[in-house]
Chain A
Amino acid sequence: MRFLVCVKQVPESNDLKIDPNINKVLKKGVSTIINFFDQFALEEAIKIRKEGDEIIAISMGDSETKSTLMRCLALGADKGILLNDENFLESDTFGTSNILAAAIKKIGDYDIIFCGNSTLDTGSGQVGPEIAEILDLPQATYTESIENVEIGKIKIKVQTDEGYSIIESMLPLVIAGIPPSYYQPNIPPLPKIIAAQKKPFEVWNAEDIKGDKSKFGSAGSLIKIIKLYKPPKREQGIVITDEPKAAIEKLMELLNKDKVI
Chain B
Amino acid sequence: MADNKDIWVFIEFKKDSIRGVSFEILGKAKELAKKSNEKVCVVLLGSNVSKFCEDFSYHGIDRIYLCEDLILGEYLTETFSSILINLIKEYMPSILLFPATKLGRDLAPRIAAALETGLTADCIELDIQDGNLVQTRTVYGGNYLADIICPNNRPQMATVRPNVMERSEALEKNQPEIINVPIDIEPNQLKTKVTEKIETTVIDIKPIDEADVIVSGGRGIGSKENFKIINELAEVLNAAVGASRAAVDAGWISKSCQVGQSGTVVCPNIYIACGISGTTQHLVGMKSSKKIIAINKDPNAPIFEVCDYGIVGDYKVIVPLLTEALKEKLSQY
Residue B117 at the chain A interface, CB threshold 8 Å: yes
- Whole-angstrom distance from the CB of A258 to the nearest CB of chain B? 8
- Interface positions, chain B 109-158, Cβ under 8 Å from A, are 109-114, 116-122, 134, 138-153
Residue of B with least CB distance to A25: B140
Stretch at the interface among A187-195, A197-205, A231-239: A231-239
With A161-B14, A163-B201 in contact, is A227–B146 under 8 Å at CB?
yes
- Interface positions, chain A 210-261, Cβ under 8 Å from B, are 222-231, 234-235, 237-241, 243-245, 247-249, 251-252, 254-256, 258, 260-261
With A124-B122, A162-B197 in contact, is A244–B147 under 8 Å at CB?
no
A251–B291 CA distance with the chains assembled, in angstroms: 13
Residue A186 at the chain B interface, CB threshold 8 Å: no
B102, B196, B209: which contacts A166 (Cβ < 8 A)? B196
A15, A125, A162, A169: which contacts B143 (Cβ < 8 A)? A15
Contact between B329 and A133, CB atoms less than 8 A apart: no
Taking CB atoms, residues of chain B closer than 8 Å to A141 are 77, 102, 105-106
A18, A92, A163: which contacts B200 (Cβ < 8 A)? A163
With A138-B191, A251-B322 in contact, is A163–B197 under 8 Å at CB?
yes
Residue A170 at the chain B interface, CB threshold 8 Å: yes
Contact between A18 and B193, CB atoms less than 8 A apart: no
Residue B321 at the chain A interface, CB threshold 8 Å: yes
> B180-199, CB under 8 A of A: which get 1 and which 0?
00000000000111111111
- Interface positions, chain B 256-310, Cβ under 8 Å from A, are 256, 261-262, 270, 280, 287, 291-293, 299, 304, 306-310
Q: Would you call the interface of chain A mostly helix, strand, loop, or mixed? A: mixed
Taking CB atoms, residues of chain B closer than 8 Å to A37 are 262
Q: Would you call the interface of chain B mostly helix, strand, loop, or mixed? A: mixed
Contact between A239 and B304, CB atoms less than 8 A apart: yes
Residue A175 at the chain B interface, CB threshold 8 Å: no
- Whole-angstrom distance from the CB of A14 to the nearest CB of chain B? 3
A247–B151 CA distance with the chains assembled, in angstroms: 53
A127–B15 CA distance with the chains assembled, in angstroms: 29
Residue A22 at the chain B interface, CB threshold 8 Å: no
Residue of B with least CB distance to A141: B106
Residue B255 at the chain A interface, CB threshold 8 Å: yes
> A160-183, CB under 8 A of B: which get 1 and which 0?
111111111110010000011001
Contact between B195 and A240, CB atoms less than 8 A apart: no
A165, A224, A226: which contacts B194 (Cβ < 8 A)? A165
With A141-B102, A169-B191 in contact, is A226–B113 under 8 Å at CB?
no
Taking CB atoms, residues of chain A closer than 8 Å to B314 are 244
Size of interface on A: residues with Cβ below 8 Å to B: 81
Residue of B with least CB distance to A160: B102
Residue B170 at the chain A interface, CB threshold 8 Å: no
A165, A226, A229, A245: which contacts B198 (Cβ < 8 A)? A165
Contact between A252 and B325, CB atoms less than 8 A apart: yes
A123, A224, A231: which contacts B145 (Cβ < 8 A)? A231
Interface centre among A37, A93, A224, A237 (most CB of B within 10 A): A237
Residue B166 at the chain A interface, CB threshold 8 Å: no
Contact between B309 and A254, CB atoms less than 8 A apart: yes
Taking CB atoms, residues of chain A closer than 8 Å to B81 are 133
Taking CB atoms, residues of chain A closer than 8 Å to B307 are 237, 239
Contact between B101 and A161, CB atoms less than 8 A apart: yes
Interface centre among B15, B309, B310 (most CB of A within 10 A): B309
Taking CB atoms, residues of chain B closer than 8 Å to A164 are 197-198, 200
Taking CB atoms, residues of chain B closer than 8 Å to A120 are 141, 261
Residue of B with least CB distance to A241: B312
Contact between A168 and B193, CB atoms less than 8 A apart: yes
- Whole-angstrom distance from the CB of A161 to the nearest CB of chain B? 5
A223–B202 CA distance with the chains assembled, in angstroms: 38
Taking CB atoms, residues of chain A closer than 8 Å to B312 are 239-241, 247
> A91-109, CB under 8 A of B: which get 1 and which 0?
0111001000000000000
Taking CB atoms, residues of chain A closer than 8 Å to B198 are 163-166
Taking CB atoms, residues of chain A closer than 8 Å to B308 are 234-235, 237-238, 258
Residue B220 at the chain A interface, CB threshold 8 Å: no
Taking CB atoms, residues of chain A closer than 8 Å to B195 are 155, 166-168
Interface centre among B101, B119, B245 (most CB of A within 10 A): B119
A94, A144, A249: which contacts B116 (Cβ < 8 A)? A94
Residue B179 at the chain A interface, CB threshold 8 Å: no
Residue A130 at the chain B interface, CB threshold 8 Å: yes
Taking CB atoms, residues of chain A closer than 8 Å to B2 are none
Contact between A222 and B150, CB atoms less than 8 A apart: yes
Taking CB atoms, residues of chain A closer than 8 Å to B280 are 14
Contact between B310 and A237, CB atoms less than 8 A apart: yes
- Interface positions, chain A 99-142, Cβ under 8 Å from B, are 117, 120-130, 132-134, 138-142
Contact between A260 and B77, CB atoms less than 8 A apart: no
Residue of B with least CB distance to A231: B145
Residue B311 at the chain A interface, CB threshold 8 Å: yes
When A and B form their complex, which 10 residue pairs have the shortest distance between CB atoms, in order from nearest?
A14-B141, A222-B118, A163-B200, A133-B113, A239-B310, A129-B109, A124-B121, A126-B109, A166-B196, A223-B118
14 contacts between A and B (CB under 8 A): A124-B122, A125-B109, A160-B102, A162-B15, A163-B201, A222-B117, A225-B148, A227-B146, A229-B147, A237-B310, A240-B311, A251-B311, A252-B329, A261-B329
